[in-house]
Amino acid sequence: MQDSLLTAIGASHRVLGEQLVMVGRAVQERESTRAIVQKTDAFMIHACRHVSATCAVILPAARHRLPGGRHRVQLYIHQVRRLERSVAQMKRRLYGASRSIRLPWAQVWEAMQHELEELMAIELAIVADVAAGVGPGTDGRLARRLAGSEAGSPTRPHPNSPHTGWLAPLSRRFWVRADSFWDAVEGRVVAGAVKAFKAPARLA
């Protein structure tokens, strides 16, 4: 399939954008807290898995194949950390952490939207250049590896962990196990099951 890597990235970006819009609409329309939590968690899990998989699959190719690849990878990682910090802030606000509960939800959502848009622009440019520089066979393999890696990536933000280099795979494996444990404790939806926990009484 021609441009399969770009197609995969574009599809993921569309879903992330739609999920974030659904979160904002759910809060604005004062849907049930349960519905808001489910929609926000769905976005956060997808965002964390997506950036982790991109770091694992796309960045090594970008570093070695693109002119200025090392610098572009560093810029991407910088934006990933900003996005992950925004995701962490959103999660703290969602679950009622004391230092975040007074933040206006609109402010948290707008910050998240800004960081996501910045990341998607950087990511799309890198992916387009990587896809243009490889043959169809490699392009397809990268797309399949990206999908497989995303399914087995951490579900929570870890901005202070290594995203590239030889420690990154070890870090991801550790966080997949740790996130799985805490997802079960908190009753987060990861595979589409219904939540089974009492959400905060008020988000807006």
**What pLDDT is stored for residue 193 in this prediction?**
33
Percent of the chain with pLDDT over 70: 91
What would the two tokens of residue 163 be? 């995203």
Percent of the chain with pLDDT over 90: 71
Question: Residue 72: enclosing H or E segment and its boundaries?
Answer: helix 69-94
Q: Which residues of 1-39 are buried (b: 16+ CB within 10 A; e: fewer)?
A: eebbbbebbeebbeebeebbebbbebbeeeeebeebbbb
Question: Residue 55: enclosing H or E segment and its boundaries?
Answer: helix 33-65
In whole angstroms, give the CA distance from residue 52 to residue 176.
11
Residue with tokens 């939207």: 113
The Cα-based distances of 85 to 44, 193, 197 in angstroms read: 11, 26, 24
What would the two tokens of residue 105 be? 């939800």
Per-residue pLDDT, averaged over 123-150, amounts to 91
Share the mean pLDDT of the chain: 88
In whole angstroms, give the CA distance from residue 119 to residue 133.
21
**What pLDDT is stored for residue 100 in this prediction?**
72
Per-residue pLDDT, averaged over 124-129, amounts to 96
The answer to whether residues 80 and 48 touch, using CB atoms and an 8 Å cutoff, is: no
**What pLDDT is stored for residue 188 in this prediction?**
83
**What pLDDT is stored for residue 47 in this prediction?**
97
Q: Which residues of 51-60 are buried (b: 16+ CB within 10 A; e: fewer)?
A: bbbbbbbbbb
Identify the CATH class of 4-186.
mainly alpha
Rg of the chain over Cα atoms, rounded to whole angstroms, equals 17
pLDDT in tens, 56-104: 999 999 999 999 999 999 999 999 999 999 999 998 888 777 677 778 8
pTM for the whole structure? 0.88
**What pLDDT is stored for residue 98 in this prediction?**
66
Instruction: Give 29-35's long-range contacts (Cβ < 8 A, gap of 24+).
Output: 30/204, 33/199, 33/200, 33/201, 33/202, 33/203, 34/195, 34/199
What would the two tokens of residue 56 be? 């694992």
pLDDT in tens, 158-198: 999 999 999 999 999 999 999 999 999 988 878 533 333 33
**At residue 138, does pLDDT exceed 70?**
yes
**At residue 113, does pLDDT exceed 60?**
yes
In whole angstroms, give the CA distance from residue 179 to residue 176.
5
